Amino acid sequence: DIQMTQSPSTLSASVGDRVTITCRASQSISSWLAWYQQKPGKAPKLLIYMTSSLQSGVPSRFSGSGSGTEFTLTISSLQPDDFATYYCQQYNSSPTFGQGTKVEIK
Amino acid sequence: QLQLQESGPGLVKPSETLSLTCTVSGGSIRGGSISRTGYYWGWIRQPPGKGLEWIGSIYYSGNTYYNPSLKSRVIISVDTSKNQISLKLTSVTAADTAVYYCARQGVVTPNNWFDPWGQGILVSVSA
């Protein structure tokens, strides 16, 4: 199995901040990476696939980058609706997820 | 708009079998009839307060792919006439307590992202 490690586990930020979450794979996954947002009691929502492709309807303040083993999700200007937990997921092989990063209000 | 809805018992006794159904509406499990390429459909679970774990996936034709850590206990099946996929997990323990989600994947390969997701169903394992 490919292990996915996210950092940080928790991130405290304010509205308007630029936020970056990192996801590292235990081996190269090329660009086969997706990002999800999950709010309490809700299903995960796809934000980005193929490392940097924005899912339809997702605000442009979300962006993704990286390749190989290191990837980032960036929120350019944090909005009140963005406080949530974020997960990365690799699909180079059998899907595996990172442990999640909770973005909380500072 | 494609929608997925999980259903089944919310409580299962230890050592018994967990059985869930995912009903797809607003589209066909088979996918696009013109291209003859269908979608993969997956099950994912999330223990309370924890992260996400892929359980397995199925192609509309019935080909299955399972998480190696659960493979010996999982059966996923598809009923295209009812537009449903099903999950059976045998010999459950408290560690199988989780919210269970179904989700659509892509075509061609089960190694894909998940979108959209069902709302999820909490299944507790307890005597």
User: Using one digit for the tens of pLDDT, what is the confidence trace for B53-79?
Assistant: 999 999 988 999 999 999 999 999 999
Confidence of residue B110 (pLDDT cuts 50, 70, 90): confident
Pairing of strands A101-105, A10-13: parallel
Taking the alpha carbons of B69, B19, A43, B1 in that order, is the dihedral positive or negative?
A: positive
Q: Are A105 and A83 in contact (CB under 8 A)?
A: yes
Supply the pLDDT for residue B100. 98
Cα gap B65→B59, rounded to integer Å: 9
Cα gap A27→A42, rounded to integer Å: 30
Instruction: State yes or no: pLDDT of B36 exceeds 70.
Output: no
Residues of chain A predicted below pLDDT 70: none
CA distance B56 to chain A (A): 9
CA distance A102 to chain B (A): 11
Cα gap B50→B53, rounded to integer Å: 9
The CA distances from residue B3 to A12, A48, A81, A95, in Å, are 34, 20, 23, 22
Supply the pLDDT for residue B32. 57
For A91, the closest chain B residue by CA position comes to B111
Cβ separation B51–A87 shorter than 8 A: yes
Cβ separation A89–B51 shorter than 8 A: no
Partner-chain residue, chosen from A1, A46, A97, that has the shortest CB–CB distance to B52: A97
